[in-house]
Chain A
Amino acid sequence: MKPFRIIYRSIRDSFKSVFRNFSLSMASIICTTITLILVALAIIVTVNVNHVTKTMEEELTIVVYANKDTTDEQINEIEEKINKISEVKDVEYKSKEEWRLEMKNNSDTLKVTLDYLENNPLFDSFIVTVNNVEDLAPTARLIRDIDNVESANYGEGMVEDIISVFNVIKTATIVIVIALVLVTAFLISNTIKLTIFSRRSEIEIMRLVGSSNISIKLPFVFEGFLLGLVGSLIPVIVTIYGYIIAYEKLNGSASFSIIELVEPMPFVLYTSLVLILIGSIVGMIGSARAVRKYLKI
């Protein structure tokens, strides 16, 4: 079959010309490797920053205290009403008895004090988590309006500051990753363009002996794919081993105890996949664009 023969020859020729134009191929591969390592670093930092902010945000809750002497029925009523608020993700009830036991277990001084008192001075409570941290304030306001609710607090003031700082960090890291990917695409496709520029006489001859545009383009597109693919190998290895080692070293250490890194598996595999895709697709597009220039389509 003729089309298969053309595809087979394109693949064969692309391998040949990678080796026959060795120095230029190396230049493209090294350029791809370096830029992709930067992209890998940026992805790892971004994902981890987002992971940390997310775990911290999940710890932000509203603590709701019911009035003293609220009956069980009233408690149920409050829980139902809180659950009806659409932003609420989860409500956890903790009775004043549970609080008392917990406090007695935690501290001997408190145990003595609490044992001394006849009545339990504590309040029944609910710990409310919300779907989106930005709904903390409005949700707390709604809960305060419910009957028999003594108070609903979420750490006003500080929480707003944390959220706004996190938002800035998130946007900044995402912007950096996108910018890096664009720069990488530009660099890789330009280097491959140079590789092809040096071989425009080859394209000219192909046209003169009657190659169709597609059969001129294919070997170059495969070549771009190969260069991008080979160029992404080292970044992939660096990502996988580098991250696993960093994870093992950092996650145990004391100074990092508040920051929890993302589990290496399957995170490194996804990152590797992204790197391979960027490398090979950008390589293909870069060379296709470069050949186009000499094809007079």
Chain B
Amino acid sequence: MKFIQIKNCYKVYKNGVTAIADLSLEINKGEFVFVIGASGSGKSTLIKMLYREEKPTKGNVEIGGINVGKIRNRTVYKLRRKLGIVFQDFKLLPKLTVYENVAFALECIGMKSSEIRPKVLKALEHVGLKEKVRSFPNELSGGEQQRVCIARAIVNDPKLLICDEPTGNLDPKTSQEIMNVLDTINKDLGTTIIMATHDKDIVNRMKKRVIVLDSGVLYEDHEKGSFKISETI
């Protein structure tokens, strides 16, 4: 049984746009997968279906044996607690400190304060931000903000980390730092990581599995791939 199984999946939006067409994919536990493709290729839709922001119109999306598309709005939170999500625009709460932003994810699920503290500090250590616990997001650089977002995503020890263009707003050097953090998480914690990206350099340097989408269709799927193979699209 694969960790993530997508079978004959279709997504048609209400305005008639087909974002994903007959997509089938399997991803193992502990893998690091890039999802690349041009704008409008269905990357974001695929990512959104994984954390059940969107439901597939047809077909199955299964994570750890759970059919994600069948989850009701009211119980989506149960899925989200098992996932970590990293966004391009960080989505940090501007009025909370770094520590509070990370602790927020645990407070939301009703964890004891005494359990929250060590977990938050450990997560911040992982991303190398232990000194900035009292800073507010607007006092941090873009790379640091993204690391807070990653810390928040991993603080709950998720089995799956979903990243939607996490380096989209960052310069190449900072992007590489972020990738190092993600790589360490993947290796040390064994977290499965799925990352949608536009960043050629990163994909080429990391030599991980690459899934290429084109108009919602699976175009290529390469172990240890690079961006070159997809330059044709």
B-binding residues in A (CB < 8 A): 2-3, 5-6, 9, 17, 20, 201-202, 204-213, 215-216, 295-297
Instruction: Determine if B109 and A210 form an interchain contact, defined as CB atoms under 8 angstroms apart.
Output: yes
CB-based nearest B residue for A211: B108
Question: If A211-B77, A213-B74, A213-B77 touch, does A206 touch B91 (CB 8 Å cutoff)?
Answer: no
B73 part of interface (Cβ distance < 8 Å): yes
Known: A205-B104, A206-B104. 7 other contacts (CB 8 A): A5-B112, A205-B91, A205-B92, A208-B80, A210-B81, A211-B77, A213-B74
Is A208 a contact of B51 with CB atoms below 8 Å? yes
Mark B residues whose CB is within 8 Å of A. Answer: 51, 73-74, 76-81, 83, 85, 91-93, 95, 104-105, 107-110, 112, 152, 156
When C-beta atoms are compared, the residue in chain B nearest to A21 turns out to be B95
- Please, could you name 29 A-B residue pairs with CB atoms under 8 Å apart, sorted by A? A2-B110, A3-B110, A5-B112, A6-B110, A9-B110, A20-B95, A201-B91, A202-B93, A204-B91, A205-B92, A206-B108, A207-B76, A208-B91, A209-B85, A209-B104, A209-B105, A209-B108, A210-B78, A210-B79, A210-B80, A210-B81, A210-B109, A211-B77, A211-B109, A213-B74, A213-B77, A215-B108, A215-B110, A295-B73
- The 8 Å CB contact of B107, one of A9, A204, A296, is A9
Residues of A within 8 A of B152 (CB): 209
Closest 9 CB pairs of A and B: A210-B81, A210-B80, A211-B108, A209-B105, A2-B110, A212-B77, A210-B77, A20-B95, A6-B110
Tell me the bound Cα distance from A20 to B94 in angstroms: 11
Q: In angstroms, how far is the closest chain B Cβ from the Cβ of A228?
A: 22
The 8 Å CB contact of B93, one of A2, A205, A213, is A205
With both chains docked as a complex, state the minimum distance between the C-beta of A226 and any C-beta of chain B, in angstroms: 17
Return B161 CB to nearest CB of chain A, in Å.
Answer: 13
A201-B91, A202-B93 known; A210-B108 Cβ under 8 A: yes
- Which of chain A's residues has its CB closest to B84's CB? A209
Q: How far is the CB of A207 from chain B (nearest CB, A)?
A: 7
Query: How far does the Cβ of B78 sit from chain A's closest Cβ, in whole Å?
Result: 8
Alpha-carbon gap, A193 to B83, bound state (A): 31
Residues of A within 8 A of B79 (CB): 210
Q: Which residues of B contact A297 (CB under 8 A)?
A: 73-74
Bound complex: CA of A208 vs CA of B93, how far in Å? 12
CA separation between A145 and B170, bound complex, in Å? 101
| Inter-chain contacts of A210 with B (CB < 8 A) | 77-81, 83, 105, 108-109, 156
Q: A5 contacts which chain B residues (CB < 8 A)?
A: 110, 112
Q: When the two chains form their complex, are residues A209 and B110 in contact, meaning their CB atoms are under 8 A apart? A: no
Q: How far is the CA of A267 from the CA of B125 in the complex (A)?
A: 62
| Residues in B whose Cβ lies below 8 Å from that of A206 | 104, 108
Give the complex CA separation of A129 and B105 in angstroms.
72
Q: B85 contacts A208, CB within 8 Å?
A: yes
Q: Which residues of A contact B104 (CB under 8 A)?
A: 205-206, 209
Taking CB as reference atom, which chain A residue is nearest B102?
Answer: A209
Chain A residue, CB-CB nearest to B82: A210
Docked CA distance A17–B81 (Å): 24
Alpha-carbon distance between A202 and B92 when the two chains are bound, in angstroms:
9
**B74 contacts across to A, CB distance below 8 A:** 213, 297
When the two chains form their complex, are residues B80 and A207 in contact, meaning their CB atoms are under 8 A apart?
yes
**A202–B91 Cα gap in the complex (Å)?**
9
CA distance A211 to B81 in the complex (A): 8
